[in-house]
Structure 1
Amino acid sequence: MKTHGRPPITPPPWRTILRKFLYIVAFLIVLAIAVLFVLRIYAEELTEMALVPDVEFVEQDPLEANAYQDPAMWFSRPGKGVNDPARWQPAFSEELSTQPPPSGPADSGDTPDFAVFFVHPTSFLENDAWNAPLDHEESQTRARLMVRGMASAFNRASEIWAPRYRQATYGTFLTDSPEAGRALDAAYADIEQAFDFFIDSVPEGTPIVLAGHSQGGYHVVRLLTEKLKGTPLMERLAVAYPIGMPISLETDLPALGLPACASGQQAGCVASWASFAEPADPGQYLRLYNETPGIDGESRTDTPILCVNPLTGSLDGSADAERNLGTLVPEGDLSNGELVAGAVPARCDPESGILLIGDPPELGQYVLPGNNYHVYDIPLFWRNLQADVVNRVRAWQPAQPS
């Protein structure tokens, strides 16, 4: 092309820069879409890669026979005083609550004596070991916060015992490898030893409550089947709360030796739930449930899951948010929080067995994929659980010989 003596026209430098910038932005958008697509399709696989240990299992040496005589082996136990995280009592938030702070049985002075054995959930997230060392500072700090936010719901008890133990790492629950089973066995050995000391320490005749969340719920189930079923201890059990652990009504519950809690005034029963906001995607939760055999060794695939509604204390059913006496809304670092009344409803889904809590509440950064509120199973219904355990201990007492 001839220019007839005129110099060629070149675009201003800023136009070239802008065009290159837009190319980069477009590339990053496409890259982000691709990453999100991969994460969406392979989220479970990537999670397993990040959290499941790829190291050999190391057999845990047994604790000393008198290990749990040491108060330092307990997050909570009688005698801890103001340093006991399970004795924390959060205040009500008058600004956020949709109804006045409630009063009721859990606030009265005639609460009967009872002792709680609480097993904290998984706080060890590393993939370089199958079991947490007791001197792993980060996991121990996190576990103490969990005891503060969860075991505190049982603070009307005369005694609360929450042991430290060499818990299995989080990735244990994402694989069916033999190492995962051995890690859970090692953790349970500590729990069993702590439970024996608990029973020896609690006054004879005092009703007991077993409670735990997630991995803690797993160990509660094993205590029921291996330490209580068929023994006089079962007669002292007012209620068991293996919260966050899916329990099959067909392959698990009959093996526990206890019925499901059908009403809020029933004692000697089992209560559990798994919380999801809507729209819920419990795919991974149900996959792990279906792939794991029941306690009786039979397949749990598509068998109904136990769901006790924490707002009513009864099997299945639904309840509006007005029935929620107080949700524990934590601060960002989980070190503190306030109770908010009337914040969250609850409805047992008859198809999946999960507990639906309506629109996603703002509780913090630890919501799992699929609107899974597993971390908040107890805080969501903190005040109702506080009242529920007292009601069940009261129901236990009249059934006992004087």
Structure 2
Amino acid sequence: MKRVASSILVALVVVAALGSVVSLGFSQSEETNIDYSDESHWLSLPESIDKPVDVFYVYPTAWHKINQNEPDICRIDNITMLEGASRVFETQATAFETVGNIFAPYYRQADAAVCLSLSLEDQNAMLSGAPKQDLFDALDYYFENYNEGRPFILAGHSQGSNMLLFVLSEYMDSHPDLYERMIAAYVIGYSVTDEYLSDNPHLRFAEGAGDTGVIISYNTEAPGIQADNPVLLENANVINPISWVRDETTAPASESMGSSIDGVYTEHFADATIDLERGVLVCSTADIEKFSSNNGLFPSGVYHSQDYPFYYYDIRANAELRAANFLGLSGLEASSDLSGDLQEAL
């Protein structure tokens, strides 16, 4: 995997530590489109295309305003965002590294505290500006120059998943030929509501472990949380990432493929139960004090930052299974690594 901005990022951090202000090649003004032919505007580009499937990953909020004089949407060269996006890539996007070639663009993103304080209509208006423009431009460049007709998975988290809702409802609706190649969309850490699906009849929510062309979504909390969760919307759809059912049957931790706690494989850590009334995924086996987001935006007991780590290897195995089904590789079952089977079968 080629992490294309690593040397630029190191230089930016060093210069920032010296108190200098430079852009080191990031010269775009906020009024111009981002040039995605410039590899420095990609968080991840594969060094080689060695898998039959691509993954297009959109990272969550990796930046916040340090002072109120900053704009509500950051620059594409913001050092905090570059660092944060790289860190979260390791905890989330790498879940898909066994199944696909991972592409991940940088994009100008909104300050989460500001955005989530707005009405839903105003949130959508804010994200429909530079963030959506960047993501759609990146998709245009990706499909025209990198994809070469391969089926693909969309994956995101939090603000990244919110942006994927625009991709699914607008970009894919305008490009039905591309949408036919979508294996699945992992819209994790944000709500996919009944109303959203009703407004977009070309979209379908997942019903099981192996269906394709579908959306997967959940938001993880501790049992009994009543406080407001800013990414949880009314009538949110949920699927259990261990058992891949949509009812309230508990999937015990013993059935999980494994978690990634602080980057370390952890067996039988997280269980999963859907709370249909609240529209969330409940994990009863984690320590609330240790795993709550506790970043000022989420109440105690909301495991927002753990949506991927708790079910990391379940997501990996599921993506491999859906890819195998999409490619028509009958007889393959989800495992810890299907990538070799996928390539051999092709």
Question: TM-score, normalising length from structure 2?
Answer: 0.77
1:119 and 2:58 correspond: yes
Aligned partners of 2:125, 2:194: CA distance in 1, in Å? 26
- Is there any run of 5+ residues in structure 1 with no aligned partner, and where? 1-58, 82-110, 291-303, 331-336
One-letter amino acid of the structure 2 residue matched with residue 223 of structure 1 = V
Q: Say yes or no: does 1:160 pair with 2:130.
A: no
1:322 corresponds in structure 2 to 254
1:68 and 2:17 aligned = no
Larger radius of gyration: 1
Indicate whether 1:347 and 2:270 are aligned. Answer: no
Contact map agreement 2:293 2:305 (CA 8 A) in 1: yes
d(CA) in 1 for partners of 2:318 and 2:217?
12
1:258/1:314 Cα in 2 relative to 1: closer, same or farther (>3 Å)? farther
TM-aligned CA deviation for residue 256 of structure 1: 5.7
| 1:199 shift after superposition | 1.2
Residues 59-93 of structure 1: CA distance to partner in whole angstroms, max 9, x if unpaired? 941225xx111111111111299xxxxxxxxxxxx
- What is the SS of the residue equivalent to 1:232? helix
Alignment of 1:123-272 (within 5 A): 123-126=62-65, 127=68, 128-171=70-113, 172-176=115-119, 180-185=123-128, 186-229=130-173, 231-252=176-197, 255=200, 257-272=202-217
**Of 325, 330, 334, which aligns to 1:395?**
325
Q: Distance in 2 between the 1:112 and 1:134 partners?
A: 29
Displacement of 1:243 in angstroms is: 0.8
1:191: how far off? 0.6
Partners of 2:36 and 2:48 in 1: how far apart?
A: 14
Higher helix share: 1
Distance in 2 (CA, whole Å) between partners of 1:153 and 1:246 is 21
* Matching residue of 1:366: 293
Deviation for aligned residue 1:253: 5.2
1:240: Cα distance to partner?
Answer: 0.7
Determine whether 1:357 maps to 2:283: yes
Count of residue pairs the alignment pairs up: 292
1:87 equivalent in structure 2 = none
CA shift for structure 1 position 289: 2.4
What is the CA RMSD across the aligned residues, in angstroms? 2.7
Relative to structure 1, is the Cα distance of residues 305 and 158 closer, same or farther in structure 2, using a 3 angstrom cutoff? closer
| Identity over aligned pairs, percent | 24
Flag the 1:61–1:274 CA change in 2: closer, same or farther, 3 A.
same
Shift of 1:254: 5.2
Distance between the aligned counterparts of 1:398 and 1:209, measured in 2? Answer: 16
Poorly superposed stretches of 4+, deviation over 4 Å: 177-182, 362-365
Q: Which amino acid aligns with 1:184?
A: L
Q: Are the structure 2 counterparts of residues 365 and 261 from structure 1 closer, same or farther at C-alpha, using a change threshold of 3 Å? A: closer
Distance (Å, rounded) in 2 between the aligned partners of 1:371 and 1:365? 5
- The yes-or-no answer on 1:77 pairing with 2:45 is yes
Measure how far apart 1:201 and its partner are: 2.8
Structure 2 residue runs of 5 or longer lacking an equivalent are: 1-28, 330-345
Cα drift, residue 365 of structure 1: 6.6
CA distance in 2, matches of 1:207, 1:398: 12
